[in-house]
Amino acid sequence: MLDMRENSLLLILWFIPVLWIEIALYEELKRVFLLTNLWKFSKSTPWIIIALILTSAIIALAHWSQGSYGIVTIALKSMVACIHFYKYKRLLPLVIAHALYDGIQVAMLLISYPHLLKKH
C-alpha cells in the first residue's frame, strides 16, 4: 500500500475502483440489504432496534481482521450509519461518508508513515 506514494496511477486506481466502489459502495449496500430484509419481519419498534444492532454486529464482525478495537469501533460507526438509514432511507450519503472516512485514513497513512526502506 505504501507504494502508492511513488505511483500516481496506483493511487488513482486504488482510490476510485477499490475505495469508492468495492469498499464504500459494496459495504453500504450490504448494510442496507441486511436492514431492509430484517425490517420485513416486523414493523415493531423493538424489532427495528434489534435489526439495527444485529446489522451493526454483522458488519463489525466482517472486520475481524482489524482486531477487537476495530470490531468495536466499526460496530459503533455502523450503528450511526444504520440509524441514519432508518431515519432518511438514503444510501448515497452513507457511501460518500464511508469513502471520505476511509480515504482520509489512507491519505493520513500515506502522508505520515515513515519510509521503511531508504533509497540509495
Q: The cell 464511508 sits on which residue?
A: 98
Is a pLDDT exceeding 80 seen at residue 69?
Answer: yes
Q: Tens digits of per-residue pLDDT, 24-61?
A: 999 999 999 999 999 999 999 999 999 999 999 999 99
Q: Mapping DSSP to helix (H, G, I), strand (E, B) and coil, where does residue 111 land?
A: helix
**Residues 60, 44: Cα–Cα separation, whole Å:** 24
pLDDT of 49:
97
Q: How far apart are CA 110 and CA 70, in angstroms?
A: 20
The pLDDT-based confidence of 119 (bands split at 50, 70, 90) is low
| Predicted local confidence at residue 115, as pLDDT | 60
**pLDDT-based confidence at 20, cuts 50/70/90?**
confident
pLDDT at 97 over 80: yes
Whether 27 contacts 98, CB under 8 Å:
yes
Give 96 or 113, the one with higher predicted confidence.
96
* Residue among 29, 37, 31, 20 nearest 60 (CA): 31
* pLDDT for the residue numbered 109: 83
Task: For residue 25, give the DSSP letter.
Answer: I
**pLDDT tens-digit map of 72-83:** 999 999 999 999
**pLDDT per position as a tens digit, 103-116:** 998 888 888 877 65
What pLDDT, on the 0 to 100 scale, is given for residue 58? 97
Pick the more confident residue, 13 or 37: 37
